[in-house]
Homo-oligomer: A and B are copies of this chain.
Amino acid sequence: MLSKAQISLITSLQHKKFRKQHGLFIVEGVKSVREFIASDYQIHSLYTTAEARTKMGNLPQNLKCIEVTVPEFQKISALTHPQGVLALVYLPALEKFDWTQLRKQHHLLLDDIQDPGNLGTIIRTAEWFGIQHIICSVGTVDAFNPKVVQATMGSLARMQVYYTELGEFIRQAKLPTFGALLEGTSIYETDFGDAGLIIMGNEGNGIRAAITEQVDYPVTIPGFGGAESLNVAVASTVFCSEIARQKLKHG
């Protein structure tokens, strides 16, 4: 039986302000919760319906599990189709960025991405293609927003997502910067080399002017039809895929 205070705490975590205040975020669904349990994240508590509990298999002994009724679960779930499994997870400690680790890879920089589904899909796709770090502008939607967590399909459990001032980050990183821009070299004729920063802009406005000035290589995805633009998660996919292709080709 859940108290009113517990329900209120859990639903409050749908808002960034309360996630920060309580140091917790929500993960839902059998698969996602399992992946967070197996990750470096610390689980605060787990809420399941009796039926969904059977799908979770063996759980760590020290994990605080609360069984709730289906109507109770519907009150705490943020999903349209609740799956009966919800974990409260501690927000990761904000570590200092490890610059030594940054050098030899490609990293994704997101400039004010607004849509939670887009950010979640970008995190999941980036992981598939072997990108380990995503650096978001302060204005980008919070990665611990329940809709983002949901869209990552568990990838967030294994990815490093940072929030920082992008301009300063680019200056410190001292890596070639590739920006997704309308007027640039074709992505298929761009040599992405061994490492670099791939910058993707906001859904409506693209990359901010101040950040665009820091772009070494403007890169364009050639279009063949009447469509005016690509969704930002789709454009990020084309960049991740092309970088992966070049890496495989050059061994």
Contacts and interface: CB of A to CB of B under 8 A. Distances in A.
Contacts of A229: 128, 153
Nearest to A39: B226
B186 A231 contact: no
Contact of A227 (B124, B224, B231, B249): B124
A157 to B, nearest CB: 9
B188 A224 contact: no
Contacts of A245: 188, 242
Nearest to A248: B188
A193 interface: no
Given A241-B241, A242-B241, A248 B222 contact: yes
A128 B227 contact: yes
Given A188-B245, A245-B188, A127 B238 contact: no
Contacts of A90: none
30 contacts: A117-B117, A121-B233, A124-B230, A124-B231, A125-B231, A125-B234, A127-B227, A128-B225, A128-B229, A129-B224, A130-B223, A130-B225, A131-B225, A132-B225, A153-B229, A154-B227, A154-B228, A155-B225, A158-B226, A186-B248, A188-B244, A188-B248, A222-B248, A224-B244, A233-B233, A233-B234, A234-B237, A237-B238, A241-B241, A242-B245
Given A128-B223, A237-B237, 8 more contacts: A121-B234, A124-B234, A126-B225, A128-B221, A128-B225, A130-B225, A153-B228, A188-B249
Interface of A: 117, 121, 124-132, 153-155, 158, 186, 188, 221-231, 233-234, 237-238, 241-242, 244-245, 248-249
